[in-house]
Amino acid sequence: MISYLAKRLFLVVLIVTTMFISPSFVNALPAQLPTSVTININLDKNNTKIIELTPRQRQMIQAVNQGRNREIGKVLDESQHRKLMKLVLGGNSLNQAIDKLKLTEETSDLVKTIVELYDLKMEALTSRL
Protein backbone atom coordinates (compact mmCIF):
# COMPACT_ATOMS: atom_id res chain seq x y z
CA MET A 1 0.00 0.00 0.00
CA ILE A 2 2.80 2.40 0.87
CA SER A 3 4.55 1.52 -2.36
CA TYR A 4 1.43 2.47 -4.34
CA LEU A 5 1.09 5.85 -2.57
CA ALA A 6 4.81 6.51 -2.98
CA LYS A 7 4.55 5.88 -6.72
CA ARG A 8 1.59 8.26 -7.02
CA LEU A 9 3.32 10.97 -5.00
CA PHE A 10 6.49 10.59 -7.07
CA LEU A 11 4.44 10.88 -10.27
CA VAL A 12 2.71 14.08 -9.10
CA VAL A 13 6.03 15.63 -8.02
CA LEU A 14 7.59 14.66 -11.35
CA ILE A 15 4.75 16.27 -13.35
CA VAL A 16 4.83 19.50 -11.34
CA THR A 17 8.62 19.72 -11.57
CA THR A 18 8.53 19.12 -15.32
CA MET A 19 5.98 21.89 -15.79
CA PHE A 20 8.14 24.43 -13.97
CA ILE A 21 11.41 23.40 -15.59
CA SER A 22 10.26 23.03 -19.17
CA PRO A 23 9.56 26.40 -20.88
CA SER A 24 7.53 24.79 -23.65
CA PHE A 25 4.67 24.11 -21.25
CA VAL A 26 4.64 27.70 -20.09
CA ASN A 27 4.75 29.03 -23.66
CA ALA A 28 1.84 26.81 -24.63
CA LEU A 29 -0.43 28.48 -22.09
CA PRO A 30 -2.44 31.51 -23.24
CA ALA A 31 -1.00 34.83 -22.13
CA GLN A 32 -4.33 36.05 -20.81
CA LEU A 33 -7.75 34.48 -20.85
CA PRO A 34 -10.53 36.68 -22.28
CA THR A 35 -12.73 37.82 -19.42
CA SER A 36 -15.56 39.33 -21.41
CA VAL A 37 -16.84 40.00 -24.88
CA THR A 38 -16.95 43.63 -25.94
CA ILE A 39 -19.56 45.16 -28.18
CA ASN A 40 -18.76 48.35 -30.01
CA ILE A 41 -21.57 50.85 -29.61
CA ASN A 42 -21.34 53.95 -31.75
CA LEU A 43 -23.70 56.89 -31.96
CA ASP A 44 -24.70 58.19 -35.37
CA LYS A 45 -25.86 61.73 -36.20
CA ASN A 46 -29.29 61.17 -34.65
CA ASN A 47 -27.80 59.80 -31.39
CA THR A 48 -29.11 56.32 -32.09
CA LYS A 49 -27.03 53.35 -31.03
CA ILE A 50 -25.28 51.30 -33.67
CA ILE A 51 -24.20 47.94 -32.29
CA GLU A 52 -21.64 45.95 -34.24
CA LEU A 53 -22.58 42.28 -33.88
CA THR A 54 -20.99 39.09 -35.08
CA PRO A 55 -22.96 36.94 -37.54
CA ARG A 56 -23.68 34.45 -34.73
CA GLN A 57 -25.10 37.20 -32.51
CA ARG A 58 -27.28 38.42 -35.39
CA GLN A 59 -28.59 34.87 -35.87
CA MET A 60 -29.48 34.60 -32.20
CA ILE A 61 -31.41 37.88 -32.29
CA GLN A 62 -33.14 36.86 -35.51
CA ALA A 63 -34.16 33.53 -33.93
CA VAL A 64 -35.78 35.32 -30.98
CA ASN A 65 -37.68 37.65 -33.33
CA GLN A 66 -38.82 34.76 -35.53
CA GLY A 67 -40.02 32.84 -32.49
CA ARG A 68 -42.02 35.87 -31.35
CA ASN A 69 -43.56 36.28 -34.80
CA ARG A 70 -44.46 32.57 -34.95
CA GLU A 71 -46.18 32.71 -31.56
CA ILE A 72 -48.13 35.84 -32.51
CA GLY A 73 -49.11 34.17 -35.79
CA LYS A 74 -50.60 31.25 -33.84
CA VAL A 75 -52.84 33.60 -31.85
CA LEU A 76 -54.09 35.78 -34.73
CA ASP A 77 -56.15 34.61 -37.67
CA GLU A 78 -54.73 34.97 -41.17
CA SER A 79 -56.31 38.34 -42.01
CA GLN A 80 -55.25 39.85 -38.67
CA HIS A 81 -51.72 38.56 -39.19
CA ARG A 82 -51.57 40.10 -42.69
CA LYS A 83 -52.82 43.45 -41.33
CA LEU A 84 -50.24 43.31 -38.54
CA MET A 85 -47.41 42.64 -40.99
CA LYS A 86 -48.63 45.45 -43.26
CA LEU A 87 -48.69 47.91 -40.34
CA VAL A 88 -45.24 46.89 -39.10
CA LEU A 89 -43.73 47.05 -42.58
CA GLY A 90 -45.44 50.41 -43.02
CA GLY A 91 -43.35 51.92 -40.24
CA ASN A 92 -45.37 51.30 -37.09
CA SER A 93 -43.74 49.69 -34.08
CA LEU A 94 -45.06 46.28 -33.09
CA ASN A 95 -46.96 47.70 -30.11
CA GLN A 96 -48.54 50.46 -32.24
CA ALA A 97 -49.56 47.91 -34.86
CA ILE A 98 -51.14 45.66 -32.22
CA ASP A 99 -53.13 48.62 -30.86
CA LYS A 100 -54.33 49.56 -34.37
CA LEU A 101 -55.57 46.03 -35.12
CA LYS A 102 -58.60 46.43 -32.84
CA LEU A 103 -58.32 42.94 -31.40
CA THR A 104 -60.58 41.51 -28.73
CA GLU A 105 -59.38 42.19 -25.21
CA GLU A 106 -58.42 38.55 -24.66
CA THR A 107 -56.47 38.29 -27.92
CA SER A 108 -54.82 41.66 -27.34
CA ASP A 109 -53.71 40.63 -23.85
CA LEU A 110 -52.37 37.34 -25.16
CA VAL A 111 -50.38 39.04 -27.94
CA LYS A 112 -49.01 41.67 -25.54
CA THR A 113 -47.98 38.90 -23.13
CA ILE A 114 -46.15 37.13 -25.95
CA VAL A 115 -44.40 40.38 -26.87
CA GLU A 116 -43.39 40.97 -23.23
CA LEU A 117 -42.07 37.41 -22.93
CA TYR A 118 -39.94 37.75 -26.04
CA ASP A 119 -38.79 41.21 -24.95
CA LEU A 120 -37.48 39.58 -21.78
CA LYS A 121 -35.78 36.89 -23.85
CA MET A 122 -34.20 39.61 -25.98
CA GLU A 123 -33.01 41.48 -22.88
CA ALA A 124 -31.44 38.31 -21.53
CA LEU A 125 -29.77 37.69 -24.87
CA THR A 126 -28.42 41.20 -25.27
CA SER A 127 -27.16 41.31 -21.70
CA ARG A 128 -24.94 38.32 -22.50
CA LEU A 129 -23.54 39.95 -25.64
Residue 44 half-sphere exposure, CB side, CA atoms within 13 Å? Answer: 6
What pLDDT is stored for residue 30 in this prediction? 47
Q: How far is CA 68 from CA 13, 18, 64, 104, 115, in A?
A: 57, 56, 6, 20, 7
Q: How many residues would you count in the chain?
A: 129
C-beta separation of 129 from 57 below 8 A: yes
Our CA angle for 106, 93, 91, nearest 5°, is 130
pLDDT in tens, the chain (129 residues): 678 788 888 888 877 777 666 655 545 544 444 444 455 555 656 666 666 778 888 888 888 888 888 888 889 888 888 898 898 888 888 888 888 888 888 988 898 899 899 888 888 888 876
The predicted model scores a pTM of 0.56
Q: How far is CA 48 from CA 32, 51, 107, in A?
A: 34, 10, 33
Buried b (16+ CB within 10 A) or exposed e, 23-53: eeeeeeeeeeeeeeeeeeeeeeeeeeeeeee
